[in-house]
Structure 1
Amino acid sequence: MVRDSASSEDSPSLQNVLDALDDPDCRAILRVTTEPMTANELTDTCDIPTSTLYRKLELLSNASLVREQDTINPGGGRTTRYKRDFDDVTISMTEEDDFSVTVERPPRKADERLADIWSTMGDEL
């Protein structure tokens, strides 16, 4: 399962962000996830095999560039959708000549924050 980047308060590591952005499949996923999409939709849209897709989603999640949104289905089970989770990524150099990364995120509405909490609770059950 892909880690929920939305619940992470830590900034992603520079290397994780660079690894994700250097990957053509990850960039393709980021281009189409302006709206939430299921893994099946991503597989079809990006023409990426399912097994590869989950590895790419893991890269993006580790870089905190994509987040999961779970929906509970009325008949049971849940559907997971993936959405790009940043407005801007900035890589800069500090005064100590170290590189740093800043990920600016869109503001979350109350229902999105509640959905994140619900998703986290579901994972722990």
Structure 2
Amino acid sequence: MVRDLPSTEGPPALQTVLDALGDPECRAILSEATEPMTATELAETCDISQSTVYRKLDLLTEASLVDERTGVGSEGGRISQYERDMTDVSVSIDETGEFSIELDRPSRHADERLAEMWSEMGDEL
């Protein structure tokens, strides 16, 4: 299983994160996705239609709140699994009235960092 690299565009937009966190179905997915799960597993666990799960996963991915991992399934096909990719969300406002958002990420083990490097090298080929 290879962890897809997060976007290098910087932190997600504040409104995107707030929209995702304000959605009850997105919150249900975040609550359940403590380990890598397929969209089908999330649909069953959260009692949400699979098409809705895919829409919510798109929103959660755009908000950088879940991580998509792609790999090869037992029958040789490509599979995607999703896992919550934050431990804390902080929203703050500075003295000029500008809002900002900060996401705390879980620490990565050495094998995950190595998988990220290999994935990045493969994307460049």
Q: TM-score range by the shorter chain?
A: 0.7 to 0.9
- Indicate the residue corresponding to 2:89 in structure 1: 89
- For structure 1, the 5+ residue unaligned runs are none
- Contact kept, 8 Å, 2:92 with 2:101, in 1: the verdict is yes
Q: State the percentage of identical aligned residues.
A: 58
- For structure 2, the 5+ residue unaligned runs are none
Map 1:59-70 onto structure 2 (within 5 A): 59-70=59-70
Superposed structure 1 runs of 4+ greater than 4 Å apart: 117-125
Task: For residue 103 of structure 1, give the secondary structure of its aligned residue in structure 2.
Answer: strand
- Contact kept, 8 Å, 1:88 with 1:105, in 2: the verdict is yes
- Contact kept, 8 Å, 1:87 with 1:105, in 2: the verdict is yes
CA distance in 2, matches of 1:117, 1:74: 24
User: Which amino acid is the alignment partner of residue 21 of structure 1?
Assistant: L
- Indicate the residue corresponding to 1:7 in structure 2: 6
The verdict on how the C-alpha distance between 1:121 and 1:20 changes in structure 2, with shifts beyond 3 A counting, is: farther
CA distance in 2, matches of 1:12, 1:46: 25
Structure 1 length as normaliser, TM-score? 0.85
Structure 2 length as normaliser, TM-score? 0.85
CA-based RMSD: 2.1
User: Which amino acid is the alignment partner of residue 20 of structure 1?
Assistant: A
- Indicate the residue corresponding to 1:46 in structure 2: 46
